[in-house]
């Protein structure tokens, strides 16, 4: 019984303690020249879908939810965003070689087709980031067209 | 009680250590076999070597000279990966993907012209990413990545050349009938995109020397 109590206290102290640990926030007002929306002619409706559903983790600017202030949630998100940007950063689109652009577009298509992106853990909270069937279709059609034009 | 715990712990560690060493020996053996590669896929799928093995092999390659030598390790790992996909072996493909990742990293572009270097760097960067994903995906995704990876390797060999004779094969059905290519060391068609489902779908497009 005593052990449980001690563990409880340790956990509590740790939980409070980690709230003071700094996190790196992924925020930037700058829209670089290499941004996907800048270098491609993206129709407004497609742009809005991609920005809402993808840009939080795949660009240099995340629209953070309030709970990002709470640890360990912030760490979890930080890790997600970091990994997401590593895979694909829409802000740096034009810095990719055409070979890589082609690969990325192919992966974008297959991930959306298979409902692997946006992540369920993300859409669970960001309800507006979910893709409806119509949205899926218009985005996929457009991205396929872009891929063929490369 | 405590003593038994410690004893069990030590015993467990000893067993793990023993397994690790025997595993490593097995890998080495396989590495050696790969030198004069037979197109055969090893059933165990255990193919990962250590970094030392790689750089050692690279050095051996260099000593024998010739540009085509430089691609031989990439080709060997690519073929291992291809064979794993042919036998629907997800884990084998993952291990081969990991290995390919490091042989791509070790590929030395410095002997090529500036223009070729730029192209090779692009290719390697892209191919590495696909190899990485193959190392941690399910077989469906592994095959999707293998499709683009094959294009990368074909382009890489167009610049660097291949030491061994390869056959460029084509399956018209994969990817919603858009088709996909792959490389094989034999003329016989064994389809890595469908595996046992459609083993003989495809035809040889050309021979690469």
Tens digit of each residue's pLDDT (9 = 90 or more) over A50-61: 999 999 999 998
* Least Cα separation, residue A111 to chain B (angstroms): 10
Give the relative orientation of helices B72-86 and B90-105 as an angle to the nearest 10 degrees: 170
A83 in reach of chain B (CB within 8 A)? no
* Least Cα separation, residue A140 to chain B (angstroms): 15
CB contacts of B130 in chain A (<8 Å) are 103
Report the C-alpha gap between B191 and B200 in whole angstroms: 6
A103 in reach of chain B (CB within 8 A)? yes
**Nearest residue to B146 (alpha-carbon basis) of B204, B207, B194:** B194
pTM above 0.95, yes or no: no
- Between the alpha carbon of residue B164 and those of residues B23, B39, B68, the distances in Å are 29, 12, 9
For B130-150, the pLDDT digits (tens) are: 999 999 999 999 999 999 999
CB contacts of B125 in chain A (<8 Å) are 97, 100
Is the CB of B148 less than 8 angstroms away from the CB of A97?
Answer: no
Lowest mean pLDDT among A118-127, B21-30, B75-84, B183-192: B21-30
Report the C-alpha gap between A98 and B101 in whole angstroms: 21
* Residues, chain B: 209
B126 in reach of chain A (CB within 8 A)? yes
For B24-72, the pLDDT digits (tens) are: 444 433 444 444 444 444 444 444 444 444 444 444 444 334 677 888 8
């Amino acid at each position: 019984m005593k052990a449980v109590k001690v563990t409880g206290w340790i956990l509590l102290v740790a939980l409070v303690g980690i709230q003071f640990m700094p996190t790196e926030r992924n925020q930037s007002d700058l829209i670089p020249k290499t941004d996907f929306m800048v270098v491609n002619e993206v129709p407004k409706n497609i742009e809005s879908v991609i920005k809402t559903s993808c840009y939080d983790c795949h660009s240099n600017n995340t629209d953070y939810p309030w709970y990002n202030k709470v640890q360990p949630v912030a760490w979890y998100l930080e890790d997600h965003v970091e990994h997401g940007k590593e895979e694909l950063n829409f802000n740096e689109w034009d810095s990719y070689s055409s070979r890589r652009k082609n690969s990325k577009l192919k992966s974008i298509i297959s991930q959306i087709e298979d409902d692997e992106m946006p992540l369920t853990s993300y859409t669970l909270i960001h309800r507006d980031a979910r893709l409806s069937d119509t949205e899926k279709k218009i985005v996929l059609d457009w991205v396929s067209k872009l891929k063929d034009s490369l | 009680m405590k003593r038994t715990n410690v004893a069990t712990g030590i015993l467990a560690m000893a067993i793990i250590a023993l397994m690790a060493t025997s595993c490593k020996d097995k890998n080495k053996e396989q590495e050696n076999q790969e030198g004069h590669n037979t197109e055969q896929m090893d059933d165990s799928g255990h193919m990962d070597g250590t970094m030392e093995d790689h750089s050692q092999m690279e050095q051996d390659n260099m000593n024998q000279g010739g540009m085509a030598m430089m691609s031989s390790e990439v080709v060997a790992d690519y073929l291992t990966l291809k064979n794993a996909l042919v036998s629907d072996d997800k884990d084998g493909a993952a291990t081969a993907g990991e290995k390919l990742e490091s042989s791509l990293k070790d590929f030395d572009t410095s002997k090529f012209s500036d223009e070729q270097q730029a192209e090779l760097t692009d290719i390697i960067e892209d191919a590495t990413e696909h190899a990485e994903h193959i190392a941690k995906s399910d077989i469906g995704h592994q095959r999707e990545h293998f499709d683009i990876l094959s294009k990368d390797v074909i382009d890489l060999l167009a610049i660097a050349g291949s030491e061994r004779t390869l056959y460029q094969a084509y399956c018209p059905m994969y990817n919603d009938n858009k088709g996909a290519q792959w490389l094989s060391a034999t003329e016989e068609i064994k389809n890595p995109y469908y595996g046992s489902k459609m083993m003989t779908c495809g035809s040889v497009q050309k021979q690469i020397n």
